[in-house]
Amino acid sequence: MTIKKFVGKTEEEASNKARMELGTNCVIMNVRQLKPTGMFKAFKSGKFEVTAAIEEKEIHSTAEVPKTGNNQINLAANEDIQALLKKNQPSPATKTLVQPRPQPASAFKEEGSAVQLHQMMSQQASNYVPSGRTRGQETSYEGFEERLSNLQNMLEQRLSPVREETEPTVEETRAIRQQQDENMKIVKMIYNNLIDNEVDEKYANSLVDEVDRSLKGSLSIDHMLSNVYQKMILKFGQASPIDLNGRKPKVIFFIGPTGVGKTTTIAKIASKLKVDAGKKLALLTADTYRIAAEEQLRTYANILDAPLKIIYSPEDLEEAIETFKDMDVILVDTAGFSHKNKSQKEDTKKLIEGMPAAYDKEVYLVLSATTKYRDLIDIADAYREIADYKLVFTKLDETNAYGNIYNMRMYTDVSISYVTNGQNVPDDIEVFDTQNIVKKLLGGN
């Protein structure tokens, strides 16, 4: 006998699922309404669970069995009961018969296997002796259907997943609801902090939904905040600063819109690499559009005692790299332009793609944390057509909302490398600190 459970939005839907899988001859044994659970159960609809059964096979016997009157036997099992009784009837030559010991009801497991059902039915059949008759006399089938019905009821009770005694008491239900109300307040507080930090509503809802699914039992605010904190840390991933392993020189391109602070960011990174890490470096600039762009970078190059070269084309880039091939790293400042400017975007793309394949390269998209999220999306999409990149965020000192950092990490699915929080060179730059940003997003300092 195959017994399965099916769930649907309505009883009819669940029953139809059972008939489609088990066949139209399946028997609906139990119907139970499932109440919605979780903190947002008020917004969810209930479902129905149907327990259905079907015979896997039938063993048909062609043997004749004596009948008394018009009594019929109807047995929903995997054996023909007439063959079973005939098998267990005593032979005329047998004086005594050792009967098997009846199996207690506890022998049924919750899954109700067909083997256990066979054993119990066989024992009931072999032990049954009608009133007024002895074991050696001809056996009547009267009362057997009642016993089979009792077995069916016992099986249904064993299969029932919820019993009345497991229902929570009024006090337990009240305590559960109070805890759910407290958890809801904490979840709302977390959600409001994320929205206040300008985390996009889509990502805030996703986090809150994950928290709701992970809530189990009584959780304090510390446990819930820890849960959200860990999830956000994992979503941000590890910071990805410049890696100078591999072939030298490594060529690093900095791209991004006008006014985000690319040139200042390059100067800060160059200072860290030369002064702190002791690397040999050269600076290149392709920003021939902005007035005084060359002079600004040359000032930093003179301070760092690093060579500087202006490039106008991919050919100039190849020549400059060959000139500085003994350096550890070459930092390239590209022209800032609007993401809507197709011609400048194409020029930058050709420059990056024209770099000799013999050298390793990395590309960093520099974004301002003060830019609107909608504009950041357009910028990220436009620059994705140029090259694969990592992210650098500037001007964190000019905003109190850090949600855009999380938004862009989720939207682009690329690593964040550095953040800057001021104009001082080289101090106001650091490798992206995931834990610090998550604390700020959750309302901490």
pLDDT digits (tens, 9 = 90+) for 84-101: 444 445 444 444 334 444
**414 and 271 in one domain?**
yes
Is residue 80 in some structural domain? no
What is residue 266's predicted lDDT score, i.e. its pLDDT?
A: 94
Which residues constitute the domain of residue 365?
250-441
**383 and 263 in one domain?**
yes
Residue found by looking up tokens 């590890």 in the block: 238
Is 232 exposed, middle or buried, given 0-12, 13-18 or 19+ CB atoms closer than 10 A? Answer: buried
Is residue 99 in some structural domain? no
**393 and 265 in one domain?**
yes
Q: How many Cβ atoms from other residues are within 10 Å of residue 146's Cβ?
A: 9
Stated length of the chain? 445
The secondary structure element, H or E, covering residue 196 is helix 170-196
Per-residue pLDDT tens digits for 60-85: 433 343 444 443 434 344 444 344 44
**201 and 274 in one domain?**
no
3-state helix, strand, coil in the chain (%, to 5): 45, 15, 40
> In the chain, which stretches have pLDDT less than 50?
58-88, 90-115, 117-118, 121, 125-126, 128-141, 162-164
**291 and 403 in one domain?**
yes
State how many domains the chain has.
Answer: 3
**405 and 349 in one domain?**
yes
Does pTM surpass 0.75? no
Nearest 5°: CA angle at 156, between 150 and 161?
Answer: 150
**275 and 185 in one domain?**
no
**351 and 231 in one domain?**
no
Nearby residues of 86 by Cβ (< 8 Å), 6 or more positions away:
61, 63, 65
CATH of the domain at 432: 3.40.50.300
Number of helices (H), then strands (E), in the chain? 14, 11
What is residue 224's predicted lDDT score, i.e. its pLDDT?
A: 75
Residue found by looking up tokens 């990149």 in the block: 389
Out of 236, 260, 275, a domain closes at: 236
What is residue 167's predicted lDDT score, i.e. its pLDDT?
A: 72
**348 and 280 in one domain?**
yes
Query: Can you say whether the dihedral through the CA atoms of 283, 288, 289, 290 is positive or negative?
Result: positive
Q: Read out DSSP for 287-312?
A: --SSTTHHHHHHHHHHHHT--EEE--
Is residue 43 in some structural domain? yes
